[in-house]
Amino acid sequence: MGVVELAEYIAALALRGDRDRVEALMMIGEGASPSEVAAATGLSKDVVRGVVRRAYEKLGTTRARRLLAAIARSALSIEPVVRRRNGASVVCRLCGEEVATTWFPRHLRDRHPDTLSRAVRRIVAGIPSPTHASGPRPGELAWPRPQ
């Protein structure tokens, strides 16, 4: 797993309209604790921990923490492509289909891969490249820019 998978996860949250979860990831990346994030966003600590755990699964704890703030900050500018129906479902504005909220990332991947890809490219483009006099440190990537 890598940066693109993490960006795809966060893009799906942003496209689903879960700005509070994206903000939670940004705050965690900036060093806030789950308790502080929960108080600031109104999410429960369990939800915050779950969102962070899924992000860490995509990239690994150390690398994810360093990148979360940058990736989430880029994702905050993405407009949702859903209309909330109720707590359990959303209506996709791209095709009009009603989808369970938890299945929306899969719906995006299956039915609207171009929309998800554009969002991921936009997020990856917003990640600052590491700047070192001699290039990236060993083990670090110089993030590719979309062409």
Q: What does the pLDDT read at residue 143? A: 46
CA 87 vs CA 51, 83, 91, 99, 136: distances in Å: 17, 11, 12, 11, 44
Report residue 23's pLDDT band, with 50, 70 and 90 as the boundaries: very high
What is the pLDDT at residue 87? 76
pLDDT (mean) for 7-18: 92
Please give the model's pTM, rounded to 2 decimal places.
Answer: 0.79
**Average of per-residue pLDDT across 77-94:** 90
User: Cα 1 vs. chain centroid, distance in angstroms?
Assistant: 14
32-53 residue pLDDT tens? 999 999 999 999 999 999 998 9
Closest CA to 17 of 87, 111, 70: 87
Is residue 71 over pLDDT 80?
yes
**Domain segments of the chain: what residues?**
3-79+112-125
- The tokens for 62 are 């150390």
Q: Which residue has the tokens 């209309």?
A: 83
